[in-house]
Structure formats: C-alpha cells, structure tokens
Amino acid sequence: MSHTPSSHTDSAQPDPTYQRIYTVVRLIPRGQVATYGQIASIVGDCTARMVGYAMAAVTPQDKVPWHRVINAQGKISLRADGGGAAEQRARLEAEGIVFDAQERVPLNRVRWPGPSMEWLQDNGFDPLPLWRAE
C-alpha cells in the first residue's frame, strides 16, 4: 500500500483527517461494509478519494478494518499498485459476505447504516451527515 497523498505527513503527528476516518471505520461491524463516499460524508470535509488514501495507508498497528470499505458499486477498488484486492475479498468472505458474478456485494443487505446520532454528537461529528439522505 504505497500511495500516500501530499496531505499525509510522515512526521510524528498523525494526519487528523486520517484519524477521524480511522475512528469511523473502526465502528463498521464484522459482516458489514461501508462505501468510501459514505465514510467521507460521515467524517466531513473529506472526499471518497481521501478515504481511499487513508485506507491504503493503514498499518497493522492502526487496527483499522480497512477491508470493510468498498466502492459505491459494491465492488473492491483496485489500488494503484494492484495489491490488496484478493486479501480484501478473502477477509470479507471470511466474515460471511458473498460476492455475485459481477464481483459485487449486496449493499442493500450488508451496508452498514452508520453510527448513531448520539455517537456522532458525542464524538464531534456532524449529526446530519449527507449519506443518511441517500
């Protein structure tokens, strides 16, 4: 996972947007997924692409279930270096997520509804993220 955006620093201070992304992604339960855009909307002041960069930058020490974040079509997005797709699929399948013949997961059944309004307010996130209106 080699691509790092210019906004990510290698200093001792972790990127605050990445930390907010990781906080939200850690909430996705086993057997469910979220989309890059959904996470970006919850985090606020963030794009789906930034979420992708954050997922690509995850290390084992971060303890972030990066494999539970997929694209809006319900598919695994290929990384620039081509790696990770087989591992991501294997991890999702191990959690009981089934892929169809077009390599998609059934978002209508396995999409995480997101954190509660109470959690959002208690943790400094916008209580009315855009994705809830979809």
Q: Write out pLDDT tens, residues 100-127.
A: 999 999 999 999 999 998 899 899 987 6
How far apart CA 109 and CA 7 sit, in angstroms, is 35
Q: Mind listing the pLDDT tens digit for each residue in 4-35?
A: 444 444 445 568 999 999 999 999 999 999 99
Helix (H, G, I), strand (E, B) or coil at 83: coil
How far apart CA 89 and CA 74 sit, in angstroms, is 12
Q: 3-12, 48-57, 60-69, 73-82: which has the minimum mean pLDDT?
A: 3-12
pTM of the shown model: 0.84
Helix (H, G, I), strand (E, B) or coil at 131: helix
**Mean pLDDT of all residues in 48-52:** 95
- Please, what are the domains in the chain? 16-110 (1.10.10.10)
